[in-house]
Amino acid sequence: MAKFIVVKCKCGNEQKIFAAPAMNVQCRVCNELLAQPTGGGAALLGKHIKDAE
Ligand SMILES: [Zn+2]
């Protein structure tokens, strides 16, 4: 599993985030919630574009 993933917000911003965040991840452009922490990884609210290094 990739450590970082790229998600796309509904505003169009693509953002690289940690695949298993410890806290909520928000879009840096519009502050939309992109991912929430779960026991085993992120619950994505944005669209998963690709894995990142
Ligand atoms: Zn956004």
Q: What is the pTM of this model?
A: 0.84
Distance between Cα 15 and ligand 1 center (Å)? 9
Distance between Cα 28 and ligand 1 center (Å)? 7
Please give the radius of gyration of the chain, using alpha carbons only, rounded to the nearest integer: 10
pLDDT at 1 over 70: no
The total number of structural domains that make up the chain:
1
Distance between Cα 46 and ligand 1 center (Å)? 9
CB 9 within 8 A of CB 15: yes
Q: What order do you get walking across the sheet with 14-18 strand by strand?
A: 14-18, 4-8, 47-52
For residue range 34-45, what is the model confidence (pLDDT) as tens digits?
Answer: 999 998 888 999
Give the CATH number for residue 29: 2.20.25.100
Distance between Cα 44 and ligand 1 center (Å)? 13
In angstroms, the CA 3 to CA 44 distance is: 14
> DSSP assignment, residue 39?
T
CB 27 within 8 A of CB 42: no
For residue range 16-38, what is the model confidence (pLDDT) as tens digits?
Answer: 999 999 999 999 999 999 999 99
Q: Quote the domain boundaries for residue 29.
A: 4-52
